[in-house]
Amino acid sequence: MSSHGLASLGALLRIVLLIFVGTCAMLILMQLTALAVPDLMLSSSAAIIGFAAWGLGIIQLLVFLAAIVLVALWVHAAHSHLHDSRVQGLNYQPGWATASFFIPFINLYVPFASTRELYNRSHGESDWHAAIPAGDVTSWAACNWAALLMFSVIVGYVFVDSIQFVHVIMPIWGWLGLSILLYTFLAGSAWYLAQIVTKVTYAQVNGAHQSQSDVFA
């Protein structure tokens, strides 16, 4: 993919990610309102609020699915651009870097490591510095892991509560608290990924990575 194509794909992905952040923020606001004004959920406005939350959830799901496709395309394109530019010492092939996002357990670490390398090498770091900390990448991965933890807690509770003769009672504020944390970490993940996409795309389009190309060796 050309630099122009990568820039266009990066811009589109950034828009989708920021829309996702916006939907998370709106859902968090609605849940905070429910916590602050519990009587609101018992009023005549409850049905309207519920319908709005349902509609927002559908929009968020569609945006999330679009983001999955665009992230896969962008990750593959960005890694390919480094390889096509003959940057030396790369540890991750485009196909593996992309596929690792979808493989259970592998996706707990490899996407973080490959994206860290992508970020550093795109900014002209040598292969010796491919694994140095990159703030946006570390924050993105931390939000991913935290969101996975919150999701696991919610699913675990539902599973245990579904067992016959086992009843686990959680107050509504507990549910809302877990949901708010989940959406907060999801929003953080999307926000930091948008920063990564913007900075990596800008660096590659402007040739920052070419200092490590064998053309200049």
DSSP for the chain? Answer: --HHHHHHHHHHHHHHHHHHHHHHHHHHHHHHHHHH-GGGGGSTTHHHHHHHHHHHHHHHHHHHHHHHHHHHHHHHHHHHHHHHTTBTT----HHHHHHGGGSTTGGGTHHHHHHHHHHHHHTT--GGGTTS--HHHHHHHHHHHHHHHHHHHHHHHHHHHHSTT------HHHHHHHHHHHHHHHHHHHHHHHHHHHHHHHHHHTTGGGGGBGGG-
Whether pLDDT at 69 is above 80: yes
Mean pLDDT computed over every residue of the chain: 89
pTM for the full model?
A: 0.88
Cβ count within 10 A of residue 81: 23
Mean pLDDT, rounded, for 116-139: 92
Q: Is there a contact between 79 and 98 (Cβ–Cβ < 8 Å)?
A: yes
- Residue 213: strand pairing partners: 87
Average pLDDT, stretch 105-124?
95
Res 18 pLDDT > 50: yes
Is it the case that residue 184 has pLDDT exceeding 70? yes
What's residue 207's pLDDT? 81
Overall domain count for the chain: 1
- Residue 87 — φ and ψ, nearest 5°? -70, 130
For 8-12, 105-109, 118-122, 203-207, which range has the lowest pLDDT when averaged over its residues? 203-207
Per-residue pLDDT at 214:
56
Looking up tokens 């550093």 gives 120
Going by pLDDT thresholds of 50, 70 and 90, the confidence category of residue 217 is very low
Q: Does residue 166 surpass a pLDDT of 70?
A: yes
Q: What is the pLDDT of residues 43-59, one digit of tens each?
A: 666 677 778 888 999 99
Across 58-66, average pLDDT: 96
Q: Note down the domain range covering 131.
A: 3-216
For position 215, what pLDDT does the model report? Answer: 47
